[in-house]
A and B are shown apart, each in its own frame.
Chain A
Amino acid sequence: MIPEIGHFALILALSVAIVQGVFPLWGSLTGKQHWVSMAKPAAYGQLFFLVISFACLLYAFIISDFSVKYVANNSNTQMPTVFRVSALWGAHEGSLLLWAMILSGWGAAVAFFSKGIPPIMLSRVLSIMGLVGVGFMLFVIVTSNPFERLLQIPLEGRQLNPLLQDFGLAIHPPMLYMGYVGLSVAYSFAMAAMIGGSLDASWVRWARPWTNIAWTFLTFGIALGSWWAYYELGWGGWWFWDPVENASLMPWIIGTALIHSLAVTEKRATFKTWTILLSILGFSLSLLGTFLVRSGVLTSVHSFASDPGRGLFILIFLLVVIGSSLVLFAFRAHKLRSIGSFSLISRESGLLVNNVILLVMTATVLLGTLYPLIIDALGAGKISVGPPYFNSVMVPLGIILFFVMGFGFHLRWKNDSIQRILKKTWIPLIVSLVAAFVLPLLVVSEFNYKTVLGLFAGSWITLSALMWVINLGRSPFKLPLASWGSVIAHIGMAMTVVGITLVSLYDTEKDVRLEKGQSYEMAGYKFAFEGVESHKVENYRANRATMVITQDGKHITTIHPEKRDYGRDAMPMTEAGIDAGFTRDLFVALGEPLGKNAWSFRIYHKPFVRWIWLGGVLMGFGGLLAALDKRYRRMRKIVVDVVDESSSKSKVTDGVTV
């Protein structure tokens, strides 16, 4: 009964979304006031029914109702409750339902915090979000219904992939989805602006905090995924340029560009087509990412077609959503004339470089990700593109980006001079150059230009950002949150860059065979193996090794790398033993038994690896601070910023108050 209620509520939510998608938009174009006013209640109604639907599926998972096919395929009674819950979004159907629910949640949030938005604009924004929701729910109901029942009820369900039975990964997908779907707000604003034919500063002001929050979630989601891969996969890697990772990285890069582009459009009424295009691309890449990863086209060309019905639906959906927005862009973009010119040396130019580099980076990742498909299409066999391709393109682009970033803080809008910039930045520039050359010589004896570049980028961004705060000459308590957010986020980026540089160049890794009582030395640490014992936990059995780490005879820590066996799926899981530190991680993965009391181990010394994720946390925190800035909540009475000619003709901006 409960699953049927869930199914029914989903159909009701779809009906509400159709109403939300059609009537307010139509009303806004034909001047029917009562249709326009349907937008808000519809947004709340859609969320209401989707929450019911989601709760019903959740209930089926918690009580292990194996008469529901999706539950039986992804959950079993051996798993602890928390993983029975996260199993809901562990596979295709449930994750789409989560997506749809989060989308309606963002819609309802826009409706709730919509005080400053003119009703016509709001109705269009909510209509667009409603239409996207229609597509999603149709997809769920027609091709991927999670509430489908089984005629023969199994006694026990199948196993959720053991890799996914981990807390980090249990909360990773919802985080990412919050980010993906959050980009739909900027997208809907962009679409509404193009329908209305105007893009003014007030529009941008509304869209900025939403974009920041979405970006924050994406940042946390990606950092979490990377951290999970590090401790769970047992290879000590933190990024693999895997299609699934790339799918989340692309919207993040575009989102980063969008945040900067929005700033220009708000302050200078320029970069309008950039802002619109990036809004469209950000959400399009989110859609592409979700769908392609879920349907498997990226991991393997073949699984894409394993359900042609689904694949076709996906293509049609992408075609309608992305295609229609790009068609609208093609015909309407010229109307959004940017006014205000800027010279070669100006903050606008700096941010233009930022936009172009980030867009090229995204195209690089997209190309590398789809390359296997392209090669296959050309009939040249199956090839996948590895880290060498990505690194060789992304690293040089990154170096240019970071170099410009440091100057960007100090650049003035519209027109600036090289002399003035150098006057502002020579101290951080010199200090970071000295630091980059001297620090490596003090710690490691040999010279490596890569280290110098990485350290320079990191210290240059950090010092330049700090210098900027000092030059503002204001009390730190009076500095707006947005400025704090920006400084913190950029320092976070610097930390990540330093972490990536150092761990890539100086990590040590060794496969060793150790008998009980033997030890191995690496980077000044002594790893003593004290034996393996087997134990059994709720959802797995494990061999658990004990390893005592000492440095110069001093006890540092005792760690317990494990090899876990989740039974059903034959792949054993590695749970690495990690001693985390601010300047280094010691990482031990347990391998195979090699006869009498001997086991193989993989031991890593990873300097500064934690900085990668700490930087990610700082970036996300910075984004959050910026989103909470009071400035965005205080709407001006009348839009004073320049309004371009097309918008002055349009009715849209007429009644803007409070």
Chain B
Amino acid sequence: MNKKFFIPLAAFMALIGLMLFGLSNDPKLIPSPFIGQSAPKFKLPRLYKPDQTISVEEMKGKVWVLNLWASWCVSCRAEHAVLTRFIAKEKVPTIGLNYKDYGTEDYGNDAVNWLSRLGNPYYAVAVDTKGMAGIDWGVVGVPETFVMDKKGIVRYKFTGPVYQQAVDDILVPLVEKLRKEEG
């Protein structure tokens, strides 16, 4: 038996050990860093009144929702009816954060056309052409929906299109609970 022939095996076992470590490091155990933090600030032009702005500070004292959407996003179209019903029923002010949409560029006014076709449930629509606010909010994909309490703390984040069951089971109870909290 020649010991040197065991060298490749030993090296390989070290590699496996290393990868086992990589495997045990589960990132999902770390909660989203935005929950429990103040809502990231932004001050962005409004879609319908580009010379005026909307900012996070304006929403202080209210329970409010931020919904990230874009006209190019098919899942946004899917959630729009559900979201519209939720906003109408709960009367919760919702800012639509229009993420990297066409309209400010030379493609035509897609965001406005989209809302005129599907209805505009938003309190205000903020235009984030460059996606900078999206980065601050740690956006992974569109759509995403955040719920903020009266102090402006992010309390909940929903990734992907909201569906009716999520509204009934999560969003509605949460909004009602937050409204009872101190401002």
User: Which B residues lie within 8 Å of A473 (CB)?
Assistant: none
Q: In this assembly, does A312 line the interface, its C-beta being within 8 Å of a C-beta of chain B? A: yes
Q: A312-B23, A334-B1, A374-B18 are in contact. Are A570 and B28 (CB under 8 A)?
A: no
The smallest C-beta distance from A367 to any residue of chain B, in angstroms, reads: 11
Given A330-B6, A333-B2, A570-B100, A311 contacting B23 (CB threshold 8 A):
yes
Closest to B110 in A: A567
Q: Is the CB of B131 within 8 A of A306?
A: no
B16 in contact (CB, < 8 A): yes
With known contacts A311-B23, A568-B74, A327–B18 Cβ distance under 8 A:
no
- Asked if B9 and A154 sit within 8 Å, CB to CB, the answer is no
Interchain CB contact under 8 A, B23 and A305:
yes
Task: Let me know if A330 and B9 touch, CB within 8 A.
Answer: yes
User: Are A376 and B25 interface neighbours, CB within 8 A?
Assistant: yes
A302 at the interface (CB under 8 A from B): yes
For the complex formed, measure the closest distance between the CB of B167 and the CB atoms of chain A, giving whole angstroms. 16
Asked if A323 and B9 make an inter-chain contact with CB atoms under 8 angstroms apart, the answer reads: yes
Contact of B31 with A by CB under 8 A: no
Most chain A C-beta atoms within 10 Å of own C-beta, residue among B12, B16, B18: B12
Query: Contacts of B1 on A, CB cut-off 8 Å?
Result: 331, 334
What is the size, in residues, of chain B's interface with A at 8 Å between Cβ atoms?
Answer: 31
Q: Given A302, A329, A370, which contacts B9 in the complex, CB threshold below 8 Å?
A: A329
User: In the bound complex, how far is the Cα of B25 from the Cα of A301, in angstroms?
Assistant: 8
Tell me, yes or no, whether B73 is within 8 Å of chain A by CB: yes
> How far, in whole Å, are A159 and B44 apart by their CA atoms in the complex?
28
Is B132 part of the binding interface, using a Cβ–Cβ cutoff of 8 Å?
Answer: no
Taking CB as reference atom, which chain A residue is nearest B3? A330
Contacts A319-B16, A534-B107, A570-B131 given; indicate if A326 touches B22 (C-beta within 8 A).
no
Q: Which residues of B contact A318 (CB under 8 A)?
A: 16, 19
**Do the beta carbons of A305 and B99 come within 8 Å of each other?**
no
Contacts of A594 in B (CB 8 A): none
Closest chain B CB from A70 CB (angstroms): 17
Interface bits A285-323 vs B (CB < 8 Å: 1, else 0):
000000000000100011011101001100100110011
Decide yes or no whether A512 CB sits under 8 A from chain B: no
Given contacts A374-B18, A568-B74, contact A327 B23 (CB under 8 A): no
Give Cα A543–Cα B26 distance, bound, in whole angstroms: 42
> Of A155, A323, A334, A543, which contacts B5 at CB under 8 A?
A334
A156 at the binding interface (Cβ < 8 Å)? yes
Closest to A76 in B: B74
The number of residues on chain A lying at the interface, defined by a beta carbon within 8 Å of a beta carbon of chain B, is: 42
Question: Hey, which chain B residues are within 8 Å of A305, CB to CB?
Answer: 22-28
Query: Cβ of A326 and Cβ of B27 under 8 Å apart?
Result: no
Distance between Cα atoms of A515 and B22 in the complex (Å): 50
Residue of A327, A534, A568 near B72 (CB, 8 A) is A568
CB pair B21 A377 closer than 8 Å: yes
**Complex contacts, B26 vs chain A, CB 8 Å:** 305, 308
Closest to B24 in A: A305
Shortest distance from the beta carbon of B10 to any chain A beta carbon, whole Å: 9
Contact A373 B19 (CB under 8 A): yes
Interface check B140, CB cutoff 8 A: no
Q: Which residues of A contact B21 (CB under 8 A)?
A: 373, 376-377
| Bound CA span A50–B70, Å | 41
- Chain A 149-164 near chain B by CB (<8 Å), digits 1 or 0: 0000011101000000
**Which residues in B have their C-beta under 8 angstroms from that of A377?**
18, 21-22
Complex CA gap A326/B14 in Å reads 13
B106 within 8 A of A: yes
Q: Name the CB-closest residue of B to A304.
A: B22
Q: Is the CB of B74 within 8 A of A154?
A: yes
Among residues of A, the one whose C-beta sits closest to the C-beta of B27 is: A302
CA gap between A322 and B16 in the complex, in Å? 10
| Docked pose: A608 CA to B27 CA in angstroms | 45
The digit string for B131-146, where 1 denotes a CB below 8 A from any CB of A, is: 1000000000000000
Q: Assuming the A-B contacts A319-B16, A326-B12, are A308 and B25 also in contact, with contact meaning beta carbons closer than 8 angstroms in the complex?
A: no
CB < 8 Å neighbour of A534 from B12, B99, B106: B106
| CB-nearest residue of chain B to A322 | B12
Given contacts A297-B19, A301-B22, A534-B107, contact A156 B74 (CB under 8 A): yes
Annotate B83-119 by CB proximity to A: 1 below 8 A, 0 otherwise. Answer: 0000000000000000110000011000000000000
Report B-chain residues with C-beta under 8 Å of the C-beta of A155: 74
Say if the beta carbon of B8 comes within 8 Å of chain A: yes
- The answer to whether A281 and B74 have CB atoms under 8 Å apart is no
Q: Does A277 contact B (CB under 8 A)?
A: yes
Q: Is the CB of A541 closer than 8 A to any CB of chain B?
A: yes
Assembled-state Cα–Cα distance A568/B99 (Å) = 11
Contact among B9, B19, B73 with A568 in the assembled complex (CB-CB below 8 Å): B73
- Taking the complex as formed, is A273 at the interface, i.e. its CB lies under 8 A from any CB of chain B? yes
Point out the residue from A284, A315, A330, A334 that lies within 8 Å of B19, measured CB to CB. A315
A130 to chain B, nearest CB (A): 23
Q: B163's closest neighbor in chain A, by CB?
A: A152
Find chain A residues with CB under 8 A from B25 CB: 301-302, 305, 376
**Besides A302-B27, A330-B6, A331-B5, 20 other CB < 8 A contacts?**
A155-B74, A304-B22, A304-B23, A308-B26, A311-B23, A315-B16, A315-B19, A323-B12, A323-B13, A329-B9, A330-B8, A334-B1, A373-B18, A374-B18, A534-B106, A534-B107, A541-B107, A565-B107, A568-B74, A570-B100
The 18 listed contacts between A and B (C-beta, < 8 Å) are A297-B19, A297-B22, A304-B19, A305-B23, A306-B28, A308-B26, A318-B19, A322-B12, A323-B13, A330-B5, A333-B2, A373-B19, A374-B18, A376-B21, A376-B22, A568-B73, A570-B70, A570-B131
Which residues on A are within 8 Å of B, measured CB to CB?
154-156, 158, 273, 277, 280-281, 284, 297, 301-302, 304-306, 308, 311-312, 315, 318-319, 322-323, 326-327, 329-331, 333-334, 370, 373-374, 376-377, 534, 541, 543, 565, 567-568, 570
